[in-house]
Amino acid sequence: MVGDKSASFLGAYVILPEEYPNQKVYILSASDIYRNYSFDSLMYYDAGEEFISAYRNTRENKTITSTDVFTDHYDSWISSFAPITDNSGNVVAILGIDAKASIIKENQVEILMLLLLEMAAILAVVYVILNLGLKKVMKPVDDLFFGIKEISSGNLTVKLPVHDQSELSLLSEKFNEMASQLAQLFERVSAASKQLGQTSLGIMSHFC
């Protein structure tokens, strides 16, 4: 069931860091999920205020940023952005990941499992590659697997140690940022669901 929904749940794309007139951004590459929306690679996207604000924050501060729920002419989304930098630290592109807001509200548990499975799959590949000849740098990867285990048990406040400034240790730093964003996301969704339930009860009591 999770597999069936995953195809329509998450989408990813790479954006140029330049902003064009009227809040347009240029999509370098987009995943196949967007073909149903006529949203494709090598095209301009008319970004709304919520999207462009998070995009600018990632570009200017080189940090992971997430939006609140917003609606464009395709659907309703929650988007996260991460900077892609060169060896000099300059932002050369921005990675965007979209999650359908409606599916988030309806399937919070399945969403968490899906995120964990995707993270585990990526980290498993990294683990296998590094284990072939770079065992001395495996500690940060082991920390990442520990972090996934903690999140899967419901601990969204887990923080991994950052041992140094190596590329693998920076993965722990990125994991901490993503875990924090995930915790904030579920807080917003839970608050929205609670507010919706209270509103429904108020409407029902009004007519009773």
The per-residue b/e assignment along 161-177, b for 16 or more CB within 10 angstroms, e otherwise, is ebeeeeebbebbeebbe
Q: How far apart are the first and last CA of the chain?
A: 38
Q: What's the longest Cα–Cα distance across the chain?
A: 70
Measuring CA to CA, which residue among 139, 178, 176 is closest to residue 159? 176
Residue 2, pLDDT > 50, answer no
Domain boundaries along the sequence of the chain: 2-105, 108-198
Q: Report the pLDDT value the prediction gives residue 82, as an integer from 0 to 100.
A: 93
Q: Report the pLDDT value the prediction gives residue 52, as an integer from 0 to 100.
A: 95
Weakest mean pLDDT among 7-16, 40-49, 132-141, 155-164: 132-141
Q: What is the pLDDT of residues 149-174, one digit of tens each?
A: 777 677 777 788 877 676 666 777 87
Topology given in CATH for the domain delimited by 2-105? Beta-Lactamase (3.30.450)
Q: How far apart are CA 142 and CA 136, in angstroms?
A: 11
Q: How far apart are CA 63 and CA 85, in angstroms?
A: 11
